[in-house]
Amino acid sequence: MSKITPEKEIEEFFTRSVGNFIDPENGFKEKLLKKIKGDYKKDIIVKWGIDPTRPDIHLGHAVVLRKLRQLQDWGCKIVFLIGDFTAQIGDPTNKSKVRPEIEQKEVEKNLKTYLDQVQKILRTEKAVFSWIRNSDWFTAITDLNLPDDYKVNLEIKDKNSVKLIKIAPNSFVGKAIAFEKTRMQVKDLGLKDKVSIITLRSFLWALKHVTFSQLIERDMFQERIKKGNELFMHEMIYPVLQGIDSQILAQIYGSCDLEVGGTDQLFNMLMGRTLMNARSLPPQSVIAFSLLVGTDGKEKMSKSLDNYISINEIPSEIFGKVMSIPDSVIIDYFTLATYSPLSDIKDLELSLKKEKVNPRDIKLRLAREIVTIYHGEAAGTAAETDFLNTFQKGQIPKDIKTIKVSKNRLLSEILLSENFVKSKSDFKRLVDEGAVSDAIKKNKITDLNFAVFEDITLRIGKKRFLNIVIE
């Protein structure tokens, strides 16, 4: 077997799962090839920005994360840009209505979850990984509102001593001291001489390089206008803010060579090129990856549509959800969500077209491969065995989610709090359809006011199970 050359590896990287690749004169591709061969010594900075509006990373996000891991293995440095400031504004992409603002407390909670989960895919050593919030440059000194007991000291140095003077935390001087000390650019990245901050002046400068027609012509905005729906200015300037992020990252890290995202983010990512050009910075290249459809086989994978598969779910949940996808998207899932060679995927596609193989058997392999990526080979094999025992032999899965609840709590409330149902009306529908039962006693639950008074193993629908233990 002939050895795969770096050139061939790179060619597959920039074609597999890629919807758009903007790289004038092959600048990024050539730089990457030099990095792989050891001829490029500077950092190659790759930006992936995400608004932490929801806590779960799903297989759709993982399409990008797995590509980023490959870039890391080639020596690139991934900058995970947390849009904690822009999350509170809301990206209007694909939104037919104004997205509600997210409270900072919720953003912080989701942020921690995101950082924990990316470690399942990305390497996190400093040489190839960094993360930073965009509130670091979008937040002004006067935006700070410090607790009254927050300690701020002003250092006065002379030749022989250092004198500390207590400063009122919410005075301008107090806020200024706290502001500098809390910037990630200073405390985490060690940039003390020049901290990048966006002021009204610099924001207006950015707006001078973007035309109104560029923003208003976006399909989603035109659709809203035609329907008579509201369109607010903060939504229109969101792409400009995202473009500013790239410009600032280039200043902080020395370059911003590439930005990656889904094809629905292409407009926003190109804004980075526009503003970097205006600042006489080398403009970033852009990769827009194809979007993975959800388990419904129709819409893009999204938590809000409840058609997602979280990488944090237990193996049996992931396996069961993959088995539920329509046959029509099997090949897309192999291409976007696994590491299977493209040659193998083409053979599978041909076999499916010629009906030489049962789609169910192909899905078993697909589900096993996906579980293996996030939980290991042993878990993938066990999940397959568990699935076959459950749905061929009527057995109960081994790795069921277990929760503890107080006695006599309503089942509808339990399932709602654990996201097994979307609403009480959803619970009613499942009960009316006979889809909720005691998995051990084989009794269907028909009472909408059913209260749990003893340990029970529930079966919800065909493929979901839940152990409830009384505290």
Predicted local confidence at residue 21, as pLDDT: 96
Average pLDDT, stretch 12-31?
Answer: 93
- Between CA 221 and CA 235 the distance in angstroms is 9
User: Is it the case that residue 101 has pLDDT exceeding 60?
Assistant: no
User: Among the listed ranges 37-41, 86-90, 236-240, 460-464, which one has the minimum average pLDDT value?
Assistant: 86-90
Lowest-confidence segment of 30-34, 62-66, 402-406 by average pLDDT: 402-406
**Hey, what amino acid is at 278?**
A
Q: Which two tokens stand for residue 73?
A: 């293995």
Instruction: Give the residues across from 22 on adjacent strands.
Output: 286
Q: Which residues contact 447 (CB under 8 A, 6 or more apart)?
A: 431
Sign (positive/negative) of CA torsion 114, 119, 123, 125? positive
Mean pLDDT of 170-197: 86
Please tell me which of 73-77, 95-99, 210-214, 455-459 the model is most confident about, judged by mean pLDDT. Answer: 73-77
Residue 420 pLDDT grade (very low, low, confident, very high; cuts 50, 70, 90): confident
pLDDT digits (tens, 9 = 90+) for 369-379: 999 999 999 99
CA distance 414 to 201: 52
**Which percentage of the chain shows pLDDT scores above 90?**
47
Q: What is the pLDDT of residue 155?
A: 81
pLDDT at 464 over 60: yes
Tell me the mean pLDDT in the region 116-123.
88
Radius of gyration of the chain (CA): 26
Confidence of residue 213 (pLDDT cuts 50, 70, 90): confident
Residues 258 and 282: their CA atoms lie apart, in Å, by 11
pLDDT of residue 223: 82
The 10 Å Cβ neighbour count of residue 154 is 13
Across the range 370-393, mean pLDDT stands at 90
Tens digit of each residue's pLDDT (9 = 90 or more) over 243-261: 999 999 999 999 999 999 9
Mean pLDDT, rounded, of the chain: 87
Binned at pLDDT 50, 70 and 90, residue 3 comes out as low
What local confidence, expressed as pLDDT, does residue 100 receive?
Answer: 44
Query: What is the pLDDT averaged over residues 99-106?
Result: 53
pLDDT confidence bin for 418, thresholds 50/70/90: confident
Query: Over 90: is that where the pLDDT of 192 sits?
Result: no
Residue 454 has pLDDT above 60, yes or no: yes
For the record, the structure tokens of 15 come out as 């074609």
Nearest CA to 60 out of 268, 365, 308, 240 is that of 308
Asked if residue 99 has pLDDT above 60, the reply is no
What is the pLDDT, as a whole number, of residue 46?
98
Q: Who contacts 135 (Cβ-Cβ below 8 Å, separation ≥6)?
A: 84, 85
The reported pLDDT for the residue numbered 391 is 75
pTM metric for this prediction: 0.79
Run of H or E including 262:
strand 258-262
Distance between CA 334 and CA 311 in Å, rounded? Answer: 16
Residue 364: predicted pLDDT: 95
The phi and psi torsions of 280 (rounded to 5 degrees) equal 60, 30
The string of pLDDT tens digits covering residues 36-56 is 999 999 999 999 998 776 677
- Residue 13 reports pLDDT greater than 70: yes
pLDDT greater at residue 128 or residue 95: 128
For the chain, percent of residues with pLDDT exceeding 70:
94
Low-confidence winner among 147-156, 190-199, 388-397 (lowest mean pLDDT): 388-397
Q: Which residues contact 11 (CB under 8 A, 6 or more apart)?
A: none
How confident is the model over 335-354, as pLDDT tens digits?
A: 999 999 999 999 999 999 98
Name the H helices within 397-451: 411-417, 424-432
Q: How far apart are CA 424 and CA 331, in angstroms?
A: 36
pLDDT at 293 exceeding the cut of 60: yes
Q: How confident is the model at residue 137 (pLDDT cuts 50, 70, 90)?
A: very high
